[in-house]
Structure 1
Amino acid sequence: MEDTILKIDNLHVSFKTHNDGETKAVRGVSFELKKGETLAIVGESGSGKSVTAKSLMRLLPKQNSMIKDGQVFYEGKDLLKYSIKEMQKIRGSEISMVFQDPMTSLNPTMTIGKQIMEGLRKHQAFRKKELFKKAADLLELVGIPSPMERMKDYPHQFSGGMRQRVVIAMALACNPKVLLADEPTTALDVTIQAQILDLMKDLQKKTGTAIIIITHDLGVVASMAQRVAVMYAGEIIETGTVDEIFYEPKHPYTCGLLLSMPKLHAARSTKLIPIPGIPPDLGQLPEGCPFAARCPYVMKVCHSFSPSKTEVSETHSVSCWLEDERAPQVEWIDGAGGSIDERKRKVD
């Protein structure tokens, strides 16, 4: 499609480990990102979200990672076929990434100004005075007061929220068309988190950058994204618009994530419902559906065969045996809450 800027097709990523052999971290992941939109990838820790993002940027460690299959198309060209030098031209200028902890993303021995100018110098032709002014303008854009003075400061002289703003400024320095944000607000308090999310939305309106935001926080999803991809055990198990995922979930795992999310206007007596168990070992995956051992609706077929993808609508798809026409009907719980009695019932 003409408005698709990034397309991932059947991506498989594994890691070599000393004890468990091959760990299949990403298994057959496919999705598209359209120009100017925000796609959220959600799931528990270890579901493969960050590995997927780092695969797109070719940032996985060479010594033990393997991209075993798949394609990553950026503007129609497969990034997995690019050389190291070609990828260096893409990173920062075309596709940028904001990592979870800004302190580990910044060099403590360099001033903030030098770190922002470094990317500008590499990818764009600026004179020295223009370079300093452009970097200061970026700090002002992300809401850093007195940007000309703060250019001379070091990372430790900034608060956590300010450091995250600096990292976002660095990521946006060369006007990338795609921004990957990996848990960009996890290390921040709620007030600063809201400010950073508002900043990202405002910058997206100004620059038209397409965003992939990786998170386990469904509150972030609701405020930022237009579409959602739910990951579990290295696979995307459900995709849809925000409204479809929040109010018409089709996978028991998606439903479980929603039920475990605190709701602002819920009564004090309302209890959060955790998803029982833990995700499977990606080095020793069970047969069938990887969520079967934790699923409240599990059927015999779930333990033997992996479900195929079902297109619920043009924008909504799910991989679950409950969508098979032979499966029993169950009452789904939407993101607004509701009775949980049906969720406790096992399907024979």
Structure 2
Amino acid sequence: MLLPEEPAILVVRHAVRRWLAEHCPDGDVAVALSGGADSLALTAVAAAEARSVRALVVDHRLQPGSAEVAETAAAQARALGCASVEVLPVEVTGSGGLEAAARQVRYAALDRARGARPVLLGHTLDDQAETVLLGLSRGSGGRSIWGMSEYESPWGRPFLEVRREVTHQACDELGLIPHVDPHNASPDFARVRLRTEVLPLLEEVLGGGVAEALARTAEQLREEGAVLDAVAEVAASEAVVDGEIDVMVLAQSAPPVRRRVLRTWLLGKGARGLGNKQLRAVDDLAVRWHGQGPVAIGGGTPNARLVVCRRRGRLNVGLEEQRRV
């Protein structure tokens, strides 16, 4: 499909062209299409730039008429020239709130349906800024404000340097009518309040450029974090012995490296929901030892919790039966 050479169309088209050249030169991709302006603009330019596009439309079935919305988006994808289109109905269940549960089942459905193709997502620079602010509120270190990566297989995000207003303008230039999800205007969701209240206030108070500054900060932290991760991998190869941590060896590493080693080790041992407080308590077992007892971490069974203990100069993970009251 030939696209008109209008200003916003050129911006999003160049963004997708660059992403394909760097990450998917064979040009076979899937696109997650919700019907909103971001994903609709992405689908349009991907169909023009990529060799073959498979559009995947997830129907969360959370609102009346969701099936019709999904079918409309699918019809738009066909009209735009996508090689194949599939609607994926899902059942949203799980813990962590509606937004988190919907995200989990959506990504799982996309992963199952993509085949061997990377999946392009319509996240914009504005989404990146919101993600960084949400991460900042958790206060769990630099990793929590890394934001989203341009490519973390199989997920690709060509629009992380594109403002949301540009994708809306691109849809206007293409004559496309995007779906407006009422959830995106609901103050029940923290991300929506960041979008409609917090970021506009920050832009006003700080004189503009806040979203771009947050995105740049996330990129710099990801780059620095990648270096620390590489150092931590080497440190782990020396400190992890027979599945346990040798605290004398671990203590030779700088704190950010130590905690990376511990985080990876704990996740490999089945830890879940690992927070900064737990991680630092485990770090204390290694380098600030004064006889403290086991540190409980998320995971385990209904009858036994997962704990980290220090014995004979090593840290190990095991189950500790919970006391019944």
State the TM-score, normalized to the length of structure 1: 0.26
Bigger fraction of residues in helix: 2
In the superposition, the TM-score normalised over structure 2's length comes to 0.27
Greater RCO (CA < 8 Å, at least 6 residues apart): 1
Q: Which structure has the bigger radius of gyration?
A: 2
